Amino acid sequence: MHFKLAKLSVITESLVMKAEEFKKLKEDFIAQWGTLGSCWGINRTMAQIHAFLMMAVEPTDTNTVMDALKISRGNANSNLRDLVGWGLIKRVTYPGDRKEYFEAEKDVWAMFCIIARERKRREIDPALNLLQSSSSNSFNQNNEEQQLFLKQTAALAEFVQTASSALDKIARAEQSKVLPFIVKRL
């Protein structure tokens, strides 16, 4: 009997250690995802909330997000609203429960397409509009600086238009099984 208790104790300690290791791994992932957020054009906390919800098995309420990430209610509400606006998470409600719950998109390709679509809308489209309007202005044919500006903005507009078209195709292909295949072959 003593041997069985000792063995059970070792197994229990091993499970506790694995649970602590898992918790640390999950915290590291959330922190790193937060760091990557600035690459997508979102703030660290918004990316951390997204990571936390991506790893949540069930839809999660605001209080749980606040407690897990040690953030204020205002910060949580603002970033949750922004994530819903991006389309990376959705609101979930349950009959008879007044709380709002949130669930992240779990499909990696769908997330990629959502992010590509939002980055295009927020960054590329305004830049393209500026470049196109800049290169469509009339310039003094005898002014070398103005002619260089016209040439560069026209070339940049053409490049950005090509990138924009590619992002449009990628963003529309989120249900496609071909996109992951093509990207893996690059």
Give the end of a domain, one of 81, 104, 127.
104
Question: What does residue 103 show for φ and ψ, rounded to 5 degrees?
Answer: -135, 130
Where does 55-143 have alpha helices with state H?
62-69, 73-86, 108-119, 125-135
In this structure, the answer to whether residues 98 and 11 fall within a common structural domain is yes
Helix axes 62-69, 73-86, angle to 10 degrees: 110
Per-residue pLDDT of 58-84, as tens digits, reads: 999 999 999 999 999 999 999 999 999
Per-residue pLDDT of 36-54, as tens digits, reads: 887 777 899 999 999 999 9
CA distances from 91 to 15, 38, 52, 103, 147 (A): 34, 24, 15, 7, 52
pTM higher than the cut 0.85:
no
Distance from C-alpha of 30 to C-alpha of 32, rounded to nearest angstrom: 6
Q: How many CB atoms lie within 10 A of CB 7?
A: 10
Q: Residue 31's domain spans which residues?
A: 2-104
Residue 81: which CATH number? 1.10.10.10
Question: Count of domains in the chain?
Answer: 2
